[in-house]
Amino acid sequence: MHCQRRTLTNLIFGVLFVNVIKLSSPLQVSSVVCNCSSITSCYGHCVTSQEIGELDCFGKRINPRIKWKCVWTNGKLTVNKMYRYTLVIEQKKYCQIYPNISGTSMDLRIVNERYNITARLFDESYPHSCKETVFRGFPPELVRCGPPLSVDFKRHSRQLDILPSWGMEKRYIQSYTVRYKELKGPSWAEPTVYSQDINKLTVRNLSSSMTYEVQLRVLENQRCTQVPWSKSFLVQPELTDEPVIKMVKDISKMKGKRLVTIKWKFAASEVSEGYRVTVKKSGGETTETFNTSHPLLTLILSHSAYQFEIIAISKVGTSPAAQRTIPPFYDKGLNGKLKVTFNGNTSFNVSWVDDLIKNYSCFAVEWWGNKEKAAHKSFYEDEKIYKVILLDEPLQQYTRYTFTLHTRLDKDVCNLKSINNSESTYGSIQAYFKEGIPISAPGNISSNVTQSSMVLEWIAVPEEDTRGFLLGYILYYRENPQDGTETETNITIDAGSMSYELVDLKSSTVYKVQLSAFTGAGMGHTLLQMV
């Protein structure tokens, strides 16, 4: 036990002795008060060293005065190291001391621009050494303009648009220059490009597929005596390929709504930061943009037609757009719920069978003809089950129109605020403002003849030629048409049929066959066949 106590006493004494040695170090305790008159006494033991890093002092114009500062880098990068610097600024008989600096820069309070400046930086971070770095200069030659606060880059058509932001010193900058080279290239491209506008500079005839290094520098003038090059900016390649749409899935989700999923692929996905998908309602009522980082988008939509535009986005621009039109969704379960009547060609009445105003006050009706852009009207209705729609453009005769009614829950404003999950389709109907007779006959009639029968087949009249709802066909035939003695027989055939069998015919007899399509306005052109 006695030995253990003696050992502990020696250990405590040893620890105390070490602490006393440290406290007696001239860096920690000094009888000299460090001020401008005692700089030599305080820091005479410091040695000149480059380990602190290059010391640089300069002025930046901030209207209307100049702000002065000194910057440096840490001499040694040590994890969790606490740095301590003292900066001394000397001008003629005047000096300033900035003690206990832990960072790597210091804003200066006063600089007299008429006298040379000497800046001395003392690194006191290490207990057994002190290092000094010195900077000298003449203030009028130390006014720095640039580099820019930030730079935006835009690439397109083998061009690079450079858009710098200069901050408050912008008024003193007259022009700037740019140099560039291919990434890891051997040298900067010559000649250097000069700006005509300090807000923008365009470099032309670049390789679209290359990454470039770019640096900017202000052109020297009387107000800007120091013009350092900026850091190197890496400018990514131009996006020249458009996304490729791989899949569009369009399924019914619930009554009046559908689930649309669109998926695409982009060849240069490694430089893409994401995608911008613009979705536009076919009638042009609203457009919404969706940003996504994945090449996939799923939306809940009504039964209208929609236009999708997909572009890839990078830091320097956008790709060409991939486009796809999603056609109107047909649900036969919604037929019969609407009725449309016309008040001439400049207005129509749309009515519905259910009492929708119990749940909705906002509605929209869309209508479009074959190969025509959809038109639309949104309206507020809380009393009647119909609405009179006045038209900006007159309806065309002989044109089949599709009319669709949508319901909306938002009562604040009946115009569509967004596209995704914002409305339901209540019902659809097709109608003509005015029908006409078909302007063409059924096509390519053919026959298969036996001794007592004949099967006729034909191609239907194209929808754009019917000019009305096709109600069916009239088939005329008679035997021995030359002598004029036989009576003519006519048969009405359903609109959905494209063949008919004539039976109980006479053998070795010539028959004259005529076929015509008809609508509510009458019978159209006739197809004549001798068999």
Does residue 251 belong to any structural domain of this protein?
A: no
The CATH number given to whatever domain includes residue 219 is 2.60.40.10
Quote the pLDDT of residue 31: 38
Same domain membership, residue 484 and residue 415: no
| 201 neighbors 160 (Cβ within 8 angstroms) | no
Quote the pLDDT of residue 15: 32
Beta bridge partners of 15: none
- CA–CA gap between residue 370 and residue 246 (Å, rounded): 28
Within 8 A by CB and 6+ apart from 246, the residues are 263, 264, 265
- CA–CA gap between residue 513 and residue 493 (Å, rounded): 14
> Which of these, 265, 225, 240, lies nearest to 113 by C-alpha position?
225
> Among 366, 399, 432, which residue terminates a domain?
432
Does residue 14 belong to any structural domain of this protein?
A: no
Quote the pLDDT of residue 44: 83
Same domain membership, residue 74 and residue 60: yes
DSSP 386: E
Same domain membership, residue 344 and residue 409: yes
| 142 neighbors 133 (Cβ within 8 angstroms) | no
Same domain membership, residue 213 and residue 283: no
Cα→Cα distances 104→70, 101, 223, Å: 8, 8, 27
Quote the pLDDT of residue 45: 85
Quote the pLDDT of residue 7: 37
Does residue 494 belong to any structural domain of this protein?
A: yes
Q: Amino acid identity of 317?
A: G
Quote the pLDDT of residue 284: 83
> Among 291, 326, 361, which residue terminates a domain?
326
Same domain membership, residue 127 and residue 71: yes
> Which of these, 74, 50, 69, 46, lies nearest to 59 by C-alpha position?
69
> Which of these, 246, 245, 248, lies nearest to 311 by C-alpha position?
245
Q: How many CA atoms lie within 13 A of 462 on its CB side?
A: 6
Same domain membership, residue 340 and residue 269: no
> Among 272, 307, 326, which residue terminates a domain?
326
Quote the pLDDT of residue 373: 87
- Split the chain (531 residues) into runs of 10 and give each run's mean pLDDT: 36 31 33 70 81 81 87 71 89 90 92 93 84 92 92 95 91 91 85 85 93 94 91 94 96 91 94 95 89 96 96 95 94 90 95 89 91 89 92 94 90 78 93 94 84 88 92 87 69 92 83 89 78 58
Cα→Cα distances 252→257, 306, 397, Å: 6, 15, 33
- Structure tokens given for 363: 């509605």
Same domain membership, residue 56 and residue 114: yes
- The residue segments making up the domain with residue 203 are 145-235
Does residue 15 belong to any structural domain of this protein?
A: no
Quote the pLDDT of residue 486: 63
Same domain membership, residue 221 and residue 159: yes
Burial of 262 (0-12, 13-18, 19+ CB in 10 A): buried
Q: What is the dihedral of CA 42, 48, 50, 53, to 10 degrees?
A: 30
Quote the pLDDT of residue 299: 96
Within 8 A by CB and 6+ apart from 393, the residues are 375
Phi and psi (nearest 5°) for 313?
-125, 135
- Classify 228 as helix, strand or coil: coil
Q: How many domains does the chain have?
A: 5
Phi and psi (nearest 5°) for 169?
-85, 5
